[in-house]
Amino acid sequence: MDFDFNLLMNAIASGLLLGGFYAAVTAGVSISFGMLDIVNIAHPAFVILGSYIAYYFSASLGVDPILVSIIALPAFYLLGGAIYQVYYLSFERRGQDALRGLAFFFGLLFVTEVTLLLTFGVDYRYVEAPYIGPSLHLGSIELPYRLLIPCVAAMLLYGALEVFVSRSFIGRAIMAVSQDQLALQLMAADPIRIKRIAFGISIATASLAGALLIVIQPVEPSVGRDYIGRVFAICVLGGLGSLPGALIAAFLLGVIESLTSTYYGPSWAPAVSFGVLLLTLAFRPAGLMGR
């Protein structure tokens, strides 16, 4: 069999870049599911919401979509805080979060998706930016800028999150809440407020991830459904509560998906992430770097 080294290298390269982007989408779930134990299955819907906001303001004002999403960060943060408040009052306080909380977020997923559908319609939306189109040529490897820039942005996001979590007071409080909520309460910090801040940050990352998504590919409301599985697969594979783990797992998944797509055909790609998830849950539920 003709072994095309070029094809392999390109597949791995684009897999890594795509993996970087998946990491950006997963950052939010890594915080909400990994650290706060909140199964926010609606996260991909918020990412799509971020995409549409980036599209809307970018198309009408001509501003770069990633810039739009950064400006929209505070709005998403407040949205996340509000959602957590409802979640806490309805479920966590009564101790019923398992089944009801899951159903709540599932319902929220559909409400968000259909609202976007009714507002914007089913047409694919895309943005114009100077870096969508040209590629960086490193020898025989081609790195499209529209994949490279989201990957770099994702890694910056992770760097920022990691610094926040390890250096700042609130960041360390979030880690504390994930380890032992009662102990944190005894230390005179309000765990509910900390969790609200953390969930707000989680949804805020969705805004940025949404802009990155619409840079990579045209978006329509039901695109989010493909990401539900990927996001949780990466979270579990990386180990719950570990941001570096999620980053590594995202790269891994991106490469595996890219190789499957290239050698077996793109119709098998959705099964890859879920297959990885099932294997991880069966053999190493703690993930790569889990507690």
* Residue selected from 1, 99, 186, 188 as contacting another protein according to rule CB under 8 A: 99
Closest listed residue to residue 153, CA positions, set 50, 273, 81: 50
User: What amino acid occupies position 185?
Assistant: Q
Sequence-separated (6 or more) residues with CB below 8 Å from residue 170: 164, 194, 197
Does position 281 bind another protein by CB under 8 A?
yes
Cα separation of 93 and 247, whole Å? 32
Residue 140 is a binding residue for another protein (CB under 8 A)? no
The distance of closest approach from Cβ of residue 52 to another protein in the complex, given in angstroms and rounded to an integer, is: 16
Among 94, 193, 284, 291, binds another protein (CB under 8 A): 94
Region from 159-167, 172-180, 192-200, 271-279 binding another protein, contact rule CB under 8 A: 271-279
Assign 3-state DSSP to the chain and report helix, strand, coil percentages, each to 5: 80, 5, 20
| Binds another protein (CB under 8 A): choice among 268, 284, 286, 291 | 268
Rounded Cα gap, residues 254 and 236, in angstroms: 15
Residue 127 engages another protein in binding (rule: CB under 8 A): no
Tokens at 245, concatenated: 């783990």
Which residues neighbour 276 within 8 Å (Cβ) at sequence distance 6 or greater? 233, 237, 253, 256
Q: Decide whether 172 or 225 has the Cβ nearer to another protein.
A: 225
State how far Cα 129 lies from the chain centre. Answer: 22
Considering the complex, state which of residue 104 and residue 158 has its C-beta at the smaller distance from another protein.
104
Q: Does 106 bind another protein (CB under 8 A)?
A: yes
**Nearest approach, Cβ of residue 249 and another protein (Å):** 15
CA 211 vs. chain centroid, Å, equals 12
Based on the shown chain and the rule CB under 8 A, indicate whether residue 233 belongs to the binding site for another protein: yes
Helix and strand numbers (H, E) in the chain are 11, 2
Q: How many residues bind another protein (CB under 8 A)?
A: 41
Contact status: 154 vs another protein (CB under 8 A): no
Does position 228 interact with another protein (CB under 8 A)? The reply is yes
Residues of this chain that bind another protein (CB under 8 A): 33, 39, 86, 90, 94, 96, 98-100, 102-104, 106-111, 113-115, 117-118, 225, 228-229, 232-233, 236, 265, 267-268, 270-271, 274-275, 277-278, 281-282, 285
